[in-house]
Amino acid sequence: MKLFRALVVSLSAAVFAVGVVFAAENAAPKAKPEGNPGKCCVKAESAGKTCDHKCCVEANAAGKNCEKCGGANPAKKA
């Protein structure tokens, strides 16, 4: 049974490693808006999702962070 356990552990480690690589590949090409996203968006992102608040979705579609939820956008330069 010890061998089986070792097999399961190494297998789940391999699955985890693949998941991390996939996550990194998916995250890389996405351009994130500058500034700081709101807490809700950070939370959603750390869970591998995007924030589904209407205000955040709209802000993200415009390439911004949602200021309603505490996000910050860099000051516009004229």
Q: Got the DSSP string for 8-44?
A: HHHHHHHHHHHHHHHHHHHHTTPPPPSSB--HHHHHH
69 scored as a contact of Zn ion (CB under 5 A): yes
- Here's the x/- map for Zn ion, 45-64, by CB under 5 A: it reads as ------x-x-xx--------
Q: Closer CB to Zn ion, residue 12 or residue 50?
A: 50
Q: Which of residues 9-38 bind Zn ion (CB under 5 A)?
A: 38
User: Which residues are near Zn ion by CB under 5 A?
Assistant: 38, 40-41, 51, 53, 55-56, 66, 68-69
